[in-house]
Amino acid sequence: MSSNGGSSSNGGNGRLGLTLDAIFGELLAAALSLAVVIIGGNFLKNKLDPLHEQKKALRKKRQELSQRLRKLNSKAYDLDDLTSLEAVVAQELVLPDQLDADFTAVGGLKEIKESLEETVLLPLLRPELFSSSFLLSPTKGVLLYGPPGTGKTLLVKALAKASRASFIPISPSTILSKWVGETNQLVHAIFSLAYKIQPCILFIDEIDSLFRERSAYDHEAYRDMKAEFMSLWDGLLSDPNAAVIVVGATNRPWDIDAAILRRMPRSFLVDYPTTSERKEILQVILSEIVLEQGFDFDRIAEETPGLTGSDLKEICRVAAYQPIREALQKEKKLLANGKKQQEQGISSFANLANEYSRTIRPLRTRDVLNAKETVVPTIWKSNSYREHCEKQYEASLARDNQDEIVSTFLNRLVSQMHILDSNNNNEAKVNKHNESSP
């Protein structure tokens, strides 16, 4: 009896073990199947979703943006602290340590830099100095105007870096939206974000394109956008503690709306550099280039009248390639000679050529002067081409007028000849009739 009971107990335990193993196997198989389904579903979803890569890039961008916001000494430490439209605007945010320009990188413009330091920089760094009277309230709008390429944008970046202020560049693509009402909301988001991350500089490059003179033909949404922007800007003017400044840059100040200009009481002309300023600009541009002994900055500055900092940079870029070009040409000759000598059983010159290519000569004054003769500023080329087209058009009109005059003269001549022929025929008929009459 006891043996039968023990055997039945062992049989029951065995069946129970088999049952547990079967259940565990089924659960494992189900889990694996579920994992395969989930992985396969996600894979298919990603493959079939046309916006998958964009969403992935957006998530990465939001992570980078969150890290940037956490670096700010402000209340907005995370995207959760921002509205959805503020997060959109924050994607344009540039932190001071991300700016690659400072005042040492701006050649010349000494008086303008000093004025900007007093007008913008000092109120942002030492606000307690300007709190004793409303007359000392810092300006909330600054306009930089002047020819293209004179360093207006570079000045603003240097200003933002020196003031340790956040930098938000504003362009039409930042504000204008195809959805009704969203443009005004984006404008509001720009100012609300600037308040949260202040000190902040709102920079509008080519401000004339965004805030040109209003007319009766403007679209309603465009008029509303400008009205909303100016209304929020007035809020800055009424708040003396707001460390937010709007800075605009343009080469067409006469196209800007008068109401916008009124809100920019301080304006600075960033004009073509003088001879001494061109020398300073050249020294900044060539500061990291190996120069020949006695490189003549004064001569180059004197022989480049009417050129902007952008033009000088392009000339120096072309000039800096000349030593490299010469080294490559000599290397090719050495390699060619080495190949011939190899064919004759003589050792190769390849090592010597490689060594020579690494020893590029310093930049010479003559290189820059030669580059000046070959590099013509684009604006000069465009103006010259416009004059050429106008002359061609005038010549074409003159030719057309001349052809028309000749054609008119010939037509009149033919007409007169027909009249003369007709008169001669009539006279001949009259004479014949008179002769035939008794």
CA distance 283 to 290: 12
Once rounded to an integer, what is the mean pLDDT over residues 128-141? 80
- Are 178 and 221 in contact, with CB atoms under 8 Å apart? no
Element (H, E) at 282: helix 275-285
Tell me the CA distances in angstroms from 296 to 105, 270, 326, 366, one per residue in order: 20, 26, 21, 9
Residue 35 domain-assigned? no
* CA distance between the termini of the chain: 181
Q: Which residue, 418, 116, 150, is CA-closest to 278?
A: 150
- 339-376 confidence digits (pLDDT tens): 655 555 545 555 555 555 567 889 999 999 999 888 87
Task: Read off the pLDDT band of 3 (50, 70, 90).
Answer: very low
Helical H segments across 72-99, by residue range: 84-90
Angle at CA of residue 202, ends 198 and 207, nearest 5°? 170
Helices 365-374, 309-343: inter-axial angle, 10-degree rounding: 110
Same domain, residue pair 151 and 216: yes
- 59-68 confidence digits (pLDDT tens): 676 677 667 6
Once rounded to an integer, what is the mean pLDDT over residues 284-309? 91
Residue 86 domain-assigned? yes
Same domain, residue pair 184 and 294: no
Helix (H, G, I), strand (E, B) or coil at 200: strand
- Are 109 and 270 in contact, with CB atoms under 8 Å apart? yes
Residue 47 domain-assigned? no
Q: What integer best gives the mean pLDDT of the chain? A: 77
Residue 414 domain boundaries? 390-425
Same domain, residue pair 202 and 221: yes
Once rounded to an integer, what is the mean pLDDT over residues 257-283? 92
Tell me: pLDDT of 141 over 60.
yes
Residue with tokens 């190996």: 290
Same domain, residue pair 169 and 244: yes
> What burial letters (b/e) apply to 192-214, b meaning 16+ CB within 10 Å?
ebbbbbbbbbbbbbbbbebbbee
CA distance 267 to 433: 95
Out of 89-98, 236-245, 306-315, 352-361, the most confident range is 306-315
CA distance 425 to 430: 9
Same domain, residue pair 299 and 263: no
Cα 307 versus chain centre, distance: 21
Task: Read off the pLDDT band of 385 (50, 70, 90).
Answer: low
Specify the number of domains making up the chain: 3
- 237-253 confidence digits (pLDDT tens): 677 778 889 999 999 99
β-pair partners for 363: 291
Same domain, residue pair 181 and 318: no
Residue 53 domain-assigned? no
Same domain, residue pair 261 and 299: no
Once rounded to an integer, what is the mean pLDDT over residues 251-268? 91
Last residue of one domain, picked from the residues 375, 410, 433: 375
Residue 36 domain-assigned? no
CA distance 403 to 85: 64
CATH number at residue 164: 3.40.50.300
Same domain, residue pair 81 and 176: yes
Task: Read off the pLDDT band of 299 (50, 70, 90).
Answer: very high
Q: How many CB atoms lie within 10 A of CB 74?
A: 16
Give φ, ψ of 314 to 5 degrees. -65, -40
Residue 249 domain-assigned? yes
CATH number at residue 281: 1.10.8.60
Tell me: pLDDT of 297 over 80.
yes
Same domain, residue pair 169 and 192: yes
Last residue of one domain, picked from the residues 224, 240, 271: 271
Cα 340 versus chain centre, distance: 51
Residue 222 domain-assigned? yes
pTM of the model: 0.69
pLDDT confidence of residue 368 = 93
Q: Which residue, 193, 146, 201, is CA-closest to 168?
A: 201
Same domain, residue pair 225 and 85: yes
- Are 232 and 244 in contact, with CB atoms under 8 Å apart? no
Same domain, residue pair 254 and 356: no
Residue 16 domain-assigned? no
Last residue of one domain, picked from the residues 271, 297, 326: 271
- 169-220 confidence digits (pLDDT tens): 998 888 887 777 788 889 999 999 888 888 889 999 999 988 888 877 777 7
Q: Which two tokens stand for residue 212?
A: 């040109």
Same domain, residue pair 300 and 253: no
